[in-house]
Amino acid sequence: MTCGHCQREIADYSNFCYFCGARQPAAPAEPFRPPRRLMRSVVDCKIAGVCGGIAEYLDIDSTLVRLIWVLLILIPVPVVPAVVGYFVGWIVMPLAPYPARPAGSPAAAPHSTPAT
């Protein structure tokens, strides 16, 4: 980072220049991001949401993860580890919470049985 007053190189995120003492402009604060957790997906699931959860965690397309998993199944050597790995992921990975509904969307009516 360069001091705006004396044009000397100073350490990043310095509040004051240690050469001339000039106050440095505040760096924009990064938005808070909660730590990512590996969880099974509830919105992108075909069987148990394992591939969808891995895709969300790695921030890639879930079709690519599913394609890689199918290729691992089709290769003769890792058939058993790929299937066992999927079921272990199904058991070990927690289910992600359902996404919040927008405020204007209608709520789903609970199922009720008619009184007889």
Domain positions in the chain are 1-26, 50-92
Average per-residue pLDDT for the chain: 80
pLDDT of 72 above 60: yes
- Provide DSSP, 30-53: PPP-PPP---B-SSS-SSSSHHHH
Distances (CA, A) of 43 to 27, 49, 92: 37, 8, 19
Q: What was the pLDDT predicted at 67?
A: 92
Question: Could you report the per-residue pLDDT of 18-51, keeping only the tens digit for each?
Answer: 888 888 887 656 677 778 888 888 888 888 889 9
- The larger pLDDT score, comparing residue 48 to residue 114, is at 48
Stretch among 3-17, 26-40, 65-79 having the lowest mean pLDDT: 26-40
Higher pLDDT, 95 or 77: 95
Q: Tokens representing 67?
A: 């394609």
Q: What is the pLDDT of residue 19?
A: 84
Closest CA to 51 of 72, 77, 20: 72
| Residue 40, number of CB atoms within 10 A of its CB | 21
Residue 78: is its pLDDT beyond 90? no
Q: Where residue 111 falls among pLDDT bands split at 50, 70, 90? A: low
Question: Which two structure tokens, joined as six digits, stand for 73?
Answer: 């199944």
Q: Is the CB of residue 50 less than 8 Å from the CB of residue 40?
A: yes
Q: State the Cα angle at 112 between 108 and 115, rounded to 5°.
A: 155
pLDDT, residue 61, reads 92
